[in-house]
Structures are given as C-alpha cells and as structure tokens.
Amino acid sequence: MKVFVAQQNYHIGNFDRNLELILSALKRAEEAGADLAVFTELSVCGYPPRDFLEFDDFIRQCEAAVDTIRQHTHRVAAIIGAPARNPDPKGKDLFNAAWVLHEGEVKAVVHKTLLPNYDVFDEYRYFEPATQWKVVPLFGHRIALTVCEDIWNLGDNPLYRICPMDELMLQSPDLMINISASPFDYDHDEDRKEVVRQNVLRYGLPMIYTNAVGSQTEIVFDGGSLAFDASGTLVRELAYFREDECLLDTAELLQPATKSDHSGIQASVLEKDMRVKRIDDPEQIIPYLTAVHNMAQVHDALILGIRDYFSKMGFKKAILGSSGGIDSAVTLALACKALGPENVRAVLMPSEFSSGHSVDDAVTLSENLGNPYDIVPIRGIYDSFLRTLSPIFGDLPFGLAEENLQSRSRGNLLMAIANKFGLILLNTSNKSELATGYGTLYGDMAGGLSVLGDVYKMQVYALAEYINRHGVIIPQNIITKAPSAELRPNQKDSDSLPDYALLDMVLFQYIEKRRGPREIIAMGIDETLVRRVLKMVNANEYKRNQFCPIIRVSSKAFGVGRRVPIVGRYLG
C-alpha cells in the first residue's frame, strides 16, 4: 500500500480553506499513485476548536466537510480528523474521531480513547472517550488507527488506566497509523519521536505518524511527521515548522521486528535520564535553556507564531516600542523576519532618563533591519501628566507612580499609532519579567500578541546571538549593556531583580518543573532568594491574567496552560 502523508497548516473554523487544503492534497496523492492519504487530528476544523465544539452549527459544518471529502475518495482513500456525534444519550455528545473514507463511503470512524486534560489540552471538556476498539481493514492491511494521545500511555506511571494499542493488538493488526496535533516546545520533538519508536518496539509493528503544523493563537504545532519500520528504524521525518508531504510504501516498513531487542529504548531512556540530571544541576540549567539547538527551534517557532497570528487574523502590519534594549531588539528582528521589515514599524520614545546610546542603538537596529521607525520623545507628555497630578501628588517623593507614567505614556502613543494606521502592537516583555511582575499594566505590558512571554531573559540573549549567527543584525552594544527600564536616573534591572542567570534558574524549577521551595533550596540555591522569587511569581498573577496571548515555546507557558488562582496565599 502506498501512503501519502499530508502535514498541513489548518485554520480553526475556516472550513473552506481547510477543505481546499485536504482536497488539493488528495489530488496530489492520486497523481503520485497513492492508495491512502493520511491527514492530522481534527484536520477538518483545526485544532484546538475549544468551545466552538459546543455550537451545533460548527458540528454541522464539520459533517458537511467530511461529506464533501468522502465524495472525492473513489480512487484514493483518506484518513481525516473531525468530531463525530455520540448517538448514546449517556456521556458527552461528541467523539474526537479519525474518519476512514474510501470508494465514496465512510468505511470506519475510530474514536479517540485517551483525552488529555492538562496544560493546554482540555479535551475531556468536550469529548467522550472510546469504549470499543477495532482494527480497520484497508488494501489488504489491518490498521491499528489511533489519535494523538492514544499512543502516549507508556512508562512506569501511565496517566490512563487503559492503553488502546493493547486492545487493538488482540485483533492482529500489521500497521499502526496515528493522526496527531502535538504542540511544540523546545525539547518535545525528541520525546515525541521516542514515544513513536517505543510503540513500534513494544508492539513489533511499523507506524506512520502524522502531526499538524502551524500556529493557533498561542499554540505552535511544529509538524515533524514520522514513519518507523517494524524494527524501530526511522524511515522518514518530515520538515519542521512548515507544510510538507511524502509518499511511503508500506512494503518498506513491514520488516521483521526484533521484539527482544530493547536496547534502543534503554539508550533513549538513559539519554532522557541524563537530560533530567542536567536540569537538576543548578550549573547546567542555563546552558540547557540556551542551547543552540533549542534556540534554533524557538526562533523558528516564534516566527511561525507571529506569521500565522497575523495571516489567520487578517492582519498585515505590526508596531512595537523600540527602546534600544535586548527584548525589543529581538522582538523587532523576529517580527521583521516573519512579516517583512516593511510591515513592522518601530517607535522610539526616549524620556529624560533615556541614555543617548539607547536611541542610537535602536536607530542602528532599524537601519540594519530596514524597517521604518519614528522617534517620538515623551518628556512633554510626561511633564504634562506630572503637572496635572501635582495637586493630588503634592510633595510626595518620586516613586513607582512617576516611573509607570512614562511606561503608560509610551503605551498610549503606541496604541494611538496602531489605531490610526491599522497596526497590531507586539508586546516585548520576556518570561522573567512576567513571572516576577516586572512590568507596567497598560504600559509596557500592552499589546495584541506577546512574542517573548515564554522566553526567559537568558534565552533572549541566546536568541540575539542566534539571530546574529550570519552577521550583525542586533548591535553588540544592545547585547552587552546592562538591562534597564530607564524609568529613573541610572536605573538597572538588577536594582529590583536578582541576576537573571540566577533568577531564571529558580523560575524554571518552579514554573516548568513545578518544584516547591524546599526542593529548589535543596539544590543549593539560597533560601532567601528562592522564597523571594516564588513570592513574586504568585503575587503577580493578577498582572498576567490581564496580559495578551503568549506564543508558547516551553513545556509550561503562562496563559491557558497554567491555571493558578489570582487570590491565594500559597508561598505568599
């Protein structure tokens, strides 16, 4: 059997566009001589559709699209992803399903069994889990067809009580196919590849694994669809961060498996154990977070996130505040790469506390990138605010209120220009700042999309170096100078925050690894520092709750995947 693997970038709820993508791929599959075309999880409607699934009209449009695809499967069969109604009044109304279409008919509808309900996933909110499992006979094969999470229930501490493949093996399948929408984070691709390979070695069957690509608001799907033969050898790996497709022959995959050979699994487990040990060693955390391989992936994910957010929302041009600092510089460089420099407007807004080199650095950056920029000093606006507030502020000393007035003045200017010219404001705050509340609501925390909100400060520096890998784009002075908000004389970030290398180490352990103060202190990190940092994180949830969508690149980003109370006293 010849299988055409289609790794495509869908648009949630855009049925016409998604249908066009699928049908055009079916045509290419037919021209290539394929017997079967395999698409990804919920390909008909896009993933994750979230509460759109609660609208009957949305489900009807899914069904209409499935019916249209069915009519185009006389020569080439198709496996697509779409919701399916649950005829039983008990349980939820829908299944997350893989539809097998051939000869103009629905040959099978396979329901997803394992419904993730953690991090960015919320499937049990909408779907009923499968309660029966049947192999799909097709072109002389007996296919064990599963959906995404169904192959992840491995290891010594499985999340679910049932494993769909264990049930399907009772029916003697000879090929596994998994359709997936597995999001990106900067080390998930290796975990994903190993999960697929472990399934192959455990069941002695080859697997074709298709994964979605593209960005859906904050979630990035990186593609990287896979094919393993029955011996656990990787036969094909599709591109990352872009659409791709390939033609496979199952004859090449159906090689005898050596079921007793678990050396591959053991080697991979050892490699993962070594990675865990590295991130348990305080001295290895920052090198792990800033590794070149990670930064290359983060770079590509952020560009895809920006590009898809704009294209799928119908936006054309962006604006951001360019301060001459590292965060705005990296954001500007990424935005220019994603949208084209002519479509990204930088606004430099110096105050009386801004250093001369900050403006010069920002100008040099825009000249290097070739993007338009404006210089709009804010001293007059700031002084006007102070005069207006003088009767109320009286003789109280200069403090946080005066500092934040500058940031909010800049936010107002940026939003005014954005409104006037139909631009979208990109936020430049990084994850370290968001974690600790080092930002001003309605000021530098304003924006329609956060580019660096899931990127720690030390990773921002590493991204800058990666951006400069072929030549200087971001001026070296921006990378080497001490970071500062420049809201008061001689201000430095270090006046308010610990050294970023130390701060990011603690934040990573608390946010990504969910370790408490005792565990982090036991790693040899100063107790006073740990308790101070964790208190800052929890105390500033109210700020993050009002923040814009953040492009997710880590295993635990702020936003929909991290749900903690605003009002609480844990570690407070």
Report the C-alpha gap between 412 and 428 in whole angstroms.
15
Could you confirm whether 535 is annotated as catalytic? no
For residue 273, give Cα distances in angstroms to 202, 270, 277, 348, 524. Answer: 20, 5, 6, 47, 21
Q: Are 234 and 287 in contact (CB under 8 A)?
A: no
DSSP-assigned beta bridge partners for residue 245: 6
Q: Are 513 and 567 in contact (CB under 8 A)?
A: no
Within 8 A by CB and 6+ apart from 48, the residues are: 12, 42, 120, 121, 122, 123, 181, 216, 219
DSSP 396: P
Nearest to 378, CA basis, from 395, 361, 402: 402
Could you confirm whether 246 is annotated as catalytic? no
Q: Are 345 and 374 in contact (CB under 8 A)?
A: yes
Residue environment code for 427-448, b if the CB has 16+ CB neighbours within 10 A, otherwise e: bbbbbbbbbbbbbbbebbbbbb
Q: For the chain, how many helices (H) and strands (E)?
A: 19, 19
Residue of 45, 112, 149, 218 with catalytic role: 112
- The dihedrals phi and psi of 172, each to the nearest 5 degrees, come to 55, 60
Nearest to 330, CA basis, from 429, 197, 239: 429
DSSP 546: T
Length of the chain: 572
Within 8 A by CB and 6+ apart from 374, the residues are: 345, 346, 347, 348, 417
Within 8 A by CB and 6+ apart from 296, the residues are: 466
Question: Beta-carbon neighbour count of residue 173 at 10 Å?
Answer: 20
Residue of 41, 128, 218, 245 with catalytic role: 41
Report the C-alpha gap between 475 and 314 in whole angstroms.
32
DSSP-assigned beta bridge partners for residue 4: 37, 247
Could you confirm whether 63 is annotated as catalytic? no
**Three-state DSSP class for residue 389:** helix
Report the C-alpha gap between 269 and 187 in whole angstroms.
15
Angle of helix 457-467 relative to helix 500-511, nearest 10 degrees, comes to 110
Tokens of 23: 């049908």
DSSP 111: E
Tokens of 126: 């909408």
Q: What angle do CA 205, 207, 213 make, to 5 degrees?
A: 170
Residue of 45, 62, 148, 336 with catalytic role: 148
Report the C-alpha gap between 551 and 449 in whole angstroms.
8
Q: Are 86 and 101 in contact (CB under 8 A)?
A: no
Report the C-alpha gap between 135 and 173 in whole angstroms.
6
Q: Do you find a cis peptide bond into 48, omega within 30 degrees of 0?
A: yes
Q: Name the residues annotated as catalytic.
A: 41, 112, 148
